[in-house]
């Protein structure tokens, strides 16, 4: 046994020895340095990524702050280059992990990563990176790739299938396209495949059945087709979490096998027919079962009660019927239950009414709720009783006596009472919760449903304040949010037709070149049960964050009630800028009866004598006579200018600007701000007082187009709203000054980007060109098939497609647009359009239908692929027609010769061929053989097979492809300074001196314009 003195001596020696050993180890480790070739590789990828604050004066593996930072757990930020320094006897280090999260890097993904032979993890989450995934990454030893929240494009390289050690592939919330490579089944160790919020299409490959190591699979917010494969719930036995919300897939949901590890099963918004509830196997760990809007019908199965681990059960917005099974009371761990929006009958079970948890059974067909109000404890009972024989106010509000009939209602959603321009907006700042009914007054209420998933907050927040440092009107400083469904219900209204204004401003997602700007909030809006907005994106519609936008509608009230319903359908991002940012958001609601005349404030007679009344009337008559004379003398009562009178006669749902505002915005129409000259007149760039950048189209006094096109254009655009149509901010009407005020599109027209002056052409890679083509097709599909007004544009061409800062296409120039009549085809006595783009049946016989636009689209699609204008001519004997060349190449089997060499080799051959074949299908000489634009969208996105092409005759069969190509190149050289598109009107001569009715940004401008241009370059 040691003595106490011996023990006292031994302890210090032990401590000293331990410190000495640690110091020696640390010295040997810290003496190691990163291999020189990897230091050079870091310099190279820093340039590629846009990472400029690495300090190369210090060895990257010595753990200085510029190379490795300590941050709190679960932080959205990371700045780490991690090394392994155990090589060559602890003298050499190699990079094994690079984490650069939340840094707003603006570069591209670096192929140079292959220079790190030991790299296992690359995490570039929440940046502003663009471009495709380098196929070269497939040759590495990566185990973890995370690229969430960037601007990445292109398809998933099939080479990634060679990453046999890969366990996690996170590509969420980008702009990836195409089908999933079947070869990915070769990822034998993959555990996480997260593909949410992209533009993937096609069916899930059958080969994925072999991905038996998968634990987490997310494919929400995509454009997939086909049914949910059975193998997901049969073969993937290790599955823990699955998210399929708004994916494009169809039901039915397959039967669920014995998935003993499954914790989250979240599926929503399926396409397809109705189906019964899926059979459930053994699910001992399932905590969240959410099958929202999955077209489920029939009764709930009794064995649902055996999943006793359930904490969240959401079966809302289906057509489930019958009584709620008593056995469900066995689900003792339930925290939230959502059965709203179904057809359940019988009585609301007592175990639901008496619960303390959050439950929602609103909007059902129960015969009795067992409660007197619309909410009991924490259970939402609003509209839960059938209204088949109970029109008018919902039964739970029947005790509310309408003391007066309302003709207007104003609500400041999520905010305090505000007085705006003399109108009082009622307060609506109640905090709400997952299953909430709230009645503000005796005239309106709201019902909120759902929980925000993945936001890591103990309590969800359903009211938001503007967090951006921007000035914004009072109404838009707050907003009410909902993760799933938000319904505003007004009652005691007079039975009239109302003007309804819904006020929005995106106050959670930012602007600018940062990851916070990449969020996409998308939801639907219904009024009186009719969907009035589909896939509505506030920021896109408003032209930026924290910018107010008002959507105007009309609705008829027949039973004293009005219902406005906002619903999330699984679309849009959910983790940008942070987790839990998604779902409906609304700032204010205005409901007004336009025919309402308020009664006098003092009611009846005010006691004025008859003599006084007579004197007042006589005096008023004389005053009116005198005022009329003065006004007539000054010309105010003479006949108005025809243009102004025509425009005033149209009921326009658009803003009105004063001439003073527009002069201030354009610096009095300064020539330096001129950005184009169309058939309508000049176009100017301007900046409004609030900083909004605009394009102003000014009606020229010498315009040949006259007022007919001006009136048509403002009438059309004010009624049409779509992300791929140019946005009309308003108009200005003062005397002979008639102006249209549009959103400013930073990248000018598609024509100038493709074949304008060389110094202004844009480098458009293949994914961008495909995105542009699909965007144009979606815009036309909206015009033809989805909008309230069915419209034939009549002048689709590259100059009438404008590109925003993100190169998203927007169709412009509605000066020649025509409403599509019911028979869908009619003879036009006034043929109008542009040479080279008009369908033959329209150009020669005046037969107009939406298939004329389809033909024009086909020409534009060929221009996008080839980078060449459809027509080039030097004389009648020397003309080049892109469509003819395409037919010749098709005959020879050389269609790929059509592809613009500027695209390079980094393009998807299948997608290129699909676009060319769709273009040829659209330009068929027979109108009936052309597809609808919705079919074109499906074919381009890979959701539908491309129909068999019916060959048509063309004018240049006698020419060989090489001769046509040489002719084009020769004409292109000779006409480099004169690429103006030719336009025509049937009642006027052919001309090359003007564009069509109103090209907003023509291809070419005079050299003097470019010399006088201000420092703000139009191409950014």
Question: Hey, which residues are catalytic here?
Answer: 795
DSSP state of 19: H
Question: Which has the closest alpha carbon to 516: 78, 1020, 128?
Answer: 128
User: In angstroms, how far apart are the furthest CA atoms of the chain?
Assistant: 127
DSSP state of 881: E
Please report how many Cα atoms fall inside a 13 Å half-sphere around the Cα of residue 273, on the Cβ side: 2
Compute, in degrees rounded to 10, the torsion defined by CA atoms 143, 148, 152, 156: 40
Instruction: Give the whole-angstrom CA distance, residue 823 versus residue 741.
Output: 34
- 3-class secondary structure, 20: helix
In DSSP notation, 394-434 reads -GGGTT---SS-BSEEEEEETS--EEETTEEEEEE-----T
Question: Which has the closest alpha carbon to 359: 456, 451, 291, 491?
Answer: 451
> Distances from the Cα of 107 to the Cαs of 45, 48, 51, 1006, in angstroms?
10, 6, 8, 35
Question: Which has the closest alpha carbon to 453: 351, 540, 564, 336?
Answer: 336
**Per-residue three-class SS string for 673-684:** HEEEECCCCEEE
Query: What is the β-pairing status of strands 168-170 and 144-146?
Result: parallel
CA quadruple 979, 980, 986, 990: dihedral sign: negative
Question: Which has the closest alpha carbon to 366: 376, 357, 356?
Answer: 376
* 859, 871 Cβ separation under 8 angstroms: no
* 771, 808 Cβ separation under 8 angstroms: yes
In DSSP notation, 48-85 reads HHT-----TTS-GGG--TTTB----TT-S-EEEEEEEE
DSSP state of 185: G
Question: Which has the closest alpha carbon to 510: 808, 50, 79, 126?
Answer: 126
* 657, 731 Cβ separation under 8 angstroms: yes
- Using a 10 angstrom Cβ sphere, with 0-12 exposed, 13-18 middle and 19 or more buried, the burial of residue 248 is buried
Instruction: Give the whole-angstrom CA distance, residue 517 versus residue 150.
Output: 10
Contacts made by residues 389-396, CB under 8 angstroms, sequence distance 24+: 391/559, 392/559, 392/560, 392/561, 393/491, 393/559, 393/560, 393/561, 394/489, 394/561, 396/369, 396/371, 396/372
Residues 6+ apart with CB under 8 A from 363: 340, 341, 342, 382, 383, 384
Query: Other CB atoms closer than 10 Å to residue 794's CB: what's the count?
Result: 26
Question: Using omega within 30 degrees of 0 as the cis cutoff, is the peptide bond preceding 252 cis?
Answer: yes
Compute, in degrees rounded to 10, the torsion defined by CA atoms 818, 819, 821, 825: 30
Q: Which token pair is 838?
A: 């008009």
- Using a 10 angstrom Cβ sphere, with 0-12 exposed, 13-18 middle and 19 or more buried, the burial of residue 629 is exposed
Cα 780 from chain centroid? 17
Instruction: Give the whole-angstrom CA distance, residue 293 versus residue 253.
Output: 12
Please report how many Cα atoms fall inside a 13 Å half-sphere around the Cα of residue 204, on the Cβ side: 23
């Amino acid at each position: 046994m040691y003595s106490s003195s011996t023990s006292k001596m031994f302890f210090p020696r032990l401590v000293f020895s331990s410190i000495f050993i640690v110091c020696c180890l640390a010295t040997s480790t810290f003496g190691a340095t990163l291999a020189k070739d990897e230091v050079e590789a870091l310099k190279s990828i820093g340039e590629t990524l846009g990472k400029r604050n690495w300090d190369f004066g210090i060895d990257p593996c010595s753990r200085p702050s510029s190379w490795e930072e300590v941050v709190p757990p679960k932080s959205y930020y990371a700045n780490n280059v991690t090394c392994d320094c155990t090589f060559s006897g602890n003298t050499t280090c190699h990079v094994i992990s690079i984490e650069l999260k939340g840094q707003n890097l603006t570069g591209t993904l670096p192929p140079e990563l292959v220079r790190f032979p030991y790299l296992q993890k690359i995490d570039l989450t929440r940046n502003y990176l663009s471009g495709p995934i380098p196929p070269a990454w497939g040759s590495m030893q990566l185990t973890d790739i995370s690229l969430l929240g960037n601007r990445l494009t292109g398809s998933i390289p099939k080479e990634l299938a060679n990453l046999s050690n890969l366990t996690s592939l996170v590509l969420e919330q980008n702009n990836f396209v195409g089908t999933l490579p079947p070869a990915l089944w070769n990822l034998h160790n993959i555990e996480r495949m997260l593909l949410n919020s992209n533009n993937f299409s096609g069916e899930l490959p059958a080969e994925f059945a072999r991905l038996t190591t998968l634990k987490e699979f997310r494919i929400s917010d995509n454009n997939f087709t086909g049914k949910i494969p059975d193998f997901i719930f049969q073969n993937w036995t290790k599955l823990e979490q699955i998210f399929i919300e708004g994916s494009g897939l169809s039901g039915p949901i397959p039967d669920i096998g014995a998935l003993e590890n499954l914790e989250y099963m979240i599926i929503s918004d399926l396409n397809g027919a109705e189906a019964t509830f899926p059979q459930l196997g053994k699910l001992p760990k399932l905590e969240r079962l959410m099958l929202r809007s999955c077209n489920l019908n029939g009764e709930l199965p009794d064995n649902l009660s055996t999943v006793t681990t359930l904490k969240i059960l959401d079966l809302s917005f289906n057509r489930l019927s019958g009584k709620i099974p008593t056995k469900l009371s066995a689900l003792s761990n339930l925290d939230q239950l959502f059965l709203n929006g179904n057809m359940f009958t019988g009585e609301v079970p007592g175990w639901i009414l008496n619960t303390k948890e959050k439950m929602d059974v609103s909007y059902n067909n129960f015969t009795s709720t067992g409660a007197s109000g619309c909410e009991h404890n924490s259970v939402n009972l609003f509209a839960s009783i059938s209204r088949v024989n109970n029109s008018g106010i919902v039964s739970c509000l029947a005790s509310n006596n309408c003391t007066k009939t309302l003709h207007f209602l104003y609500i400041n959603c999520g905010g305090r009472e505000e007085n705006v321009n003399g109108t009082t907006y009622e307060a609506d700042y109640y905090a709400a919760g997952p299953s909430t009914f709230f009645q503000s007054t005796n005239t309106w209420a709201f019902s909120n449903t759902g929980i925000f998933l993945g936001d890591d907050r103990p309590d969800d927040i359903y009211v938001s304040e503007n967090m951006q440092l921007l000035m914004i009107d009072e109404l838009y400083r707050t907003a009410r949010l909902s993760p799933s469904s938000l319904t505003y219900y007004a009652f005691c209204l007079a039975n009239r037709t109302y003007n309804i204004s819904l006020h929005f401003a995106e106050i959670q997602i930012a602007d600018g070149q940062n990851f916070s700007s990449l969020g996409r909030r998308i939801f639907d809006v219904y009024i009186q049960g009719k969907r009035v907005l589909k896939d509505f994106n506030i920021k896109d519609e408003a032209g930026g964050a924290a910018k107010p936008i008002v959507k105007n509608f009309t609705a008829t009230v027949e039973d004293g009630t009005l219902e406005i319903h906002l619903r999330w359908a699984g679309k849009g991002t959910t983790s940008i800028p942070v987790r839990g940012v998604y779902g409906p958001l609304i700032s204010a609601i205005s409901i007004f009866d336009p025919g309402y005349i308020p009664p006098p404030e003092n009611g009846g007679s005010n006691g004025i004598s008859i003599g006084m009344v007579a004197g007042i009337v006589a005096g008023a008559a004389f005053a009116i006579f005198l005022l009329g004379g003065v006004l007539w003398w000054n010309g105010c009562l003479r006949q108005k200018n025809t243009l102004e009178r025509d425009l005033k006669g149209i009921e326009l749902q658009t803003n009105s600007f004063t001439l003073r505002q527009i002069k201030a915005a354009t610096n009095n129409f300064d020539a330096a701000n001129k950005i184009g000259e169309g058939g309508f007149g000049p176009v100017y760039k301007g900046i409004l007082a609030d900083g909004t950048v605009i394009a102003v189209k000014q009606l020229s006094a010498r315009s040949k187009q006259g007022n007919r096109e001006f009136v048509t254009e403002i009438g059309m655009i004010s009624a049409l709203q779509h992300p791929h149509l140019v946005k009309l901010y308003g108009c200005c009407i003062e005397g002979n000054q008639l102006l249209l005020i549009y959103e400013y599109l930073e990248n000018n027209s598609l024509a100038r980007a493709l074949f304008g002056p060389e110094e202004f052409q844009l480098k458009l890679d293949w994914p961008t060109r495909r995105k542009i083509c699909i965007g144009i097709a979606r815009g036309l599909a909206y015009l033809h098939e989805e909008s309230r007004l069915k419209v034939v544009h009549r002048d689709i061409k590259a100059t009438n497609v404008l590109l925003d800062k993100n190169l998203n296409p927007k169709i412009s120039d509605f000066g020649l647009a025509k409403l599509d009549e019911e028979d869908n085809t009619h003879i036009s006595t006034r043929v109008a359009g542009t040479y080279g783009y008009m369908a033959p049946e329209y150009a020669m016989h005046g037969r107009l239908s939406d298939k004329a636009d389809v033909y024009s689209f086909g020409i534009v699609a060929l221009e996008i692929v080839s980078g060449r204008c459809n027509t080039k001519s030097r004389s009648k004997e020397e003309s080049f027609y892109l469509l003819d060349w395409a037919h010749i190449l098709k005959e020879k089997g050389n269609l790929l010769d059509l592809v613009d060499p500027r695209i390079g080799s980094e393009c998807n051959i299948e997608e290129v061929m699909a676009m060319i074949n769709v273009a040829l299908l659209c330009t068929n000489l027979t109108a009936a053989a052309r597809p609808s634009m919705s079919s074109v969208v499906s074919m381009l996105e890979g959701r539908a097979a491309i129909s068999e092409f019916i060959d048509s005759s063309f004018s240049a069969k006698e020419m060989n492809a090489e001769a046509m190509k040489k002719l084009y190149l020769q004409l292109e050289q000779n006409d480099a300074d004169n690429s103006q598109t030719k336009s025509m009107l049937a009642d006027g001569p052919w001309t090359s001196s003007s564009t069509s009715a109103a090209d907003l940004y023509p291809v070419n401008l005079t050299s003097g314009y470019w010399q006088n241009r201000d420092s703000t370059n139009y191409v950014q």
